[in-house]
Amino acid sequence: MPAVLPIKLNPSQMRPVAYRIFSKKHGLNLKSTGLETLTEIIGKNYGTEWRGAEAAKMMEEICRLWKEQEMGVFVEGKPLQELFDEITASKKAKEKARVQVVSKSVGLTGVEEIEDREGEPQVNVIREAAPSVDVVWKEFFKVISAFDQPLFHYNARQQRFEKRKTKPTLFANAQSASNMFLTRYHLVYNRLLRNDDTTDLKITSIRSLIGRQGEFSIFGMLSKNPEQKICLQDDTGRILLILAAGCKPDPGVYYPEGSFVICNGRYMKSGDAEVFVVITMGPPVAEKRQETITAYGNMDYLGLHGNPHGSVVRRIERQVEASMLAEEKRLVDQKVIVFGGDMYLDNPLTLKALQKVFSTIELEFQDSGTKKPLAMVFSGDFTSQYQPPHLYKKGFDKLEELFKEFSSIITGVKIIFVPGQRDPWTNTFPTQNAVVPLQPLPTTMINRVARLCGEDVSMSSNPCRMAYLTQDMVFYRDGLSERLRKCNLQLDSAKDDSDDSDDDIEIDNDEVMINDVVVNEPESSFDFGEGLSNLTRPVDISTPMASQVGPTNTLSAKEVESRKIVRTICDQGHLSPFNRHDRPVAWDYDETLWLSPLPTILFMVDTHAPKFSLRYEECMVVNPGPFLNRKIASWVEYDPSKKTVKERQLHI
């Protein structure tokens, strides 16, 4: 293609051409900044042929992608430039792939010689192969801290994501707090409407219940009114909940305040009190990852395909996704090592256990010729008690010495540190619930490790994500099991509260009881020494009856507990389905806790929950438990190509 001599155009010259294509043909409105940017693009790339067919074709392509990505009616300068850069980069990649395909097919002569049946050579016309995108996996491998993750605004009216226009901050205003729960509500509500199993379910808003008779289905968030009565709240109002006798909410999940539920029942009014008598209650069902991605137009949620903080909502091309998936399956020797939580570096036994674990990995690397791990994930707490900074730093200095000793398996491996509750600077207020997401460990504390590992070390937030080709891995260190049990709404019947007559509501129907039936889950201590018996073959609990099968007969207490945790988190689509008092959240960063779409795998490091590996709606959830327990070091290895997890244990 001959070189183009750029020219300088005036917006007044470009306006008639742009109006004909953008406004008259595609119904878009070019703002002044958009016209100036378009004029500069066309003049620089097409020169004297700015009125030609190629320039018009480019403007057509820009309009098509602008409408396809639902970027609105008004075309502004900055997103227009980003979209043009995206088109240009995509064309270059396709051209490069096409040249590679043709060169491999025909060699240097430009023709392909084959032999016919008589053995005479004949020249075949070259059929250009469908261009494929050349994928380099390292370009799609990234550790993403919560504070670097691309953030979006969810437009509930149009059911789409848009780029945020304001910069997030840890000191958000009160409007951000209300928007946080409203966005959660709309995301789950729209997911509920997409579910094929609930297509016949008609959700009625709470405000629409007034004065109506019959049975209705309502959806909302569990909350408490000033009298500490259980209510359901949606975007139109709030109503007191009363459970009919015999109504038992789905026992397979927890019901903390701040979680979303579907209730079926009837509206009643007794005096000044408006109540909803619940006949059935359950959580919204989770949605498979691919179904969510398709519903929102194959969005690039993690910012791998361009500028993550640009003003354009990028989409992943199907062709690129297919090439990434093929590369993912081809790389069979990759693995991610995730160590158990509570890696106390102030405990000599922990350092001894790490030394033996590294020796085992190094021996396998040298003897069997296996590749180095893709990444190693270390989860806090990194100290067994609250310590001053200089003592805390000593633990990481000792870890740096271990890294030096085993440099053969550490060099070139991504090292990720996920902080816990006792790690700085969360431990500044040890008596308070830490605000999630937790900020990364300060560089000053681990400067020797950072100096040794260089760019391969990642001081990540809690939670954080790892993008690997088409996969999304989430790492979250928290005591979810304890918090779910503690915050689970214990809803006593009227018979248990008969002494407090002021709290009772008089209703004529004898089959109605005040508040919920208790959803009991006994607090129990779990033996972590038994290990994970089913890590290599995770149990699939996606079927409706899977979580109901034998909670008292065939399933152990640990299995029941594990399934309840997984279903609660995945059905709620959030890592912290609590109110703002039980688990404070940085309002502007609530999106980093979403599980929408569900990740490929969620490493939920909880040292107080049983070890498990479960698959729910094609999302694998793994808890490796504590790193060291009863002189047994535990870690898990994840194979991205096969999507399998293997448990490893070592006696110290």
How confident is the model at residue 497, as a pLDDT? 43
Query: What tokens were used for 53?
Result: 């067919």
Q: Name residue, tokens 């408006």.
A: 274
**242 Cβ neighbours under 8 A, 6+ residues apart:** 268, 275, 276, 277, 278, 505, 507, 512, 513, 514, 515
Query: Does 36 fall in a domain?
Result: yes
Query: Does 545 fall in a domain?
Result: no
How confident is the model at residue 420, as a pLDDT? 93
Query: Does 72 fall in a domain?
Result: yes
Which has the closest alpha carbon to 212: 222, 199, 224, 202?
Answer: 202
Cα 454 off chain centre by: 27
Using alpha carbons only, give the angle 483, 485, 489 rounded to the nearest 5 degrees: 105
Give the integer Cα–Cα distance in Å for 509 and 511.
5
What residues make up the domain containing 28?
Answer: 11-91
How confident is the model at residue 50, as a pLDDT? 87
Query: What tokens were used for 617?
Result: 């709606």
How confident is the model at residue 432, as a pLDDT? 60
Helix, strand, coil % in the chain, rounded to nearest 5: 35, 20, 45
How confident is the model at residue 552, as a pLDDT? 44
**Neighbour-count burial of 367, counting CB atoms closer than 10 A to its CB (0-12 exposed, 13-18 middle, 19+ buried):** exposed
**508 Cβ neighbours under 8 A, 6+ residues apart:** none
**DSSP H helices in 30-153:** 32-46, 53-68, 77-106
Give the integer Cα–Cα distance in Å for 569 and 349.
34
Query: Does 140 fall in a domain?
Result: no
How confident is the model at residue 79, as a pLDDT? 85
Question: 222 with 489: CB under 8 angstroms?
Answer: yes
**184 Cβ neighbours under 8 A, 6+ residues apart:** 221, 260, 573, 574, 590
DSSP state of 459: E
Question: 172 with 586: CB under 8 angstroms?
Answer: yes
Question: 445 with 389: CB under 8 angstroms?
Answer: yes
Amino acid in position 193: L
Query: What tokens were used for 557?
Result: 């207490």
Question: 589 with 437: CB under 8 angstroms?
Answer: yes
How confident is the model at residue 187, as a pLDDT? 96
Give the integer Cα–Cα distance in Å for 214 and 314.
46
Give the integer Cα–Cα distance in Å for 504 and 518.
17
Query: Does 254 fall in a domain?
Result: no
DSSP state of 1: -
Give the integer Cα–Cα distance in Å for 192 and 209.
20
Q: Between the CA atoms of 472, 477, 481 and 485, what dihedral angle is there, to the nearest 10 degrees? A: -110
How confident is the model at residue 315, as a pLDDT? 82
Question: 392 with 424: CB under 8 angstroms?
Answer: yes
How confident is the model at residue 219, as a pLDDT? 97
Query: Does 62 fall in a domain?
Result: yes
Number of domains making up the chain: 1
C-alpha distances (whole Å) from 224 to each of 147, 228, 306, 489, 576 are: 32, 5, 44, 10, 18
DSSP state of 398: H
The segments of the chain whose pLDDT lies below 70 read 1-3, 93-133, 310-311, 426-432, 491-538, 542-553
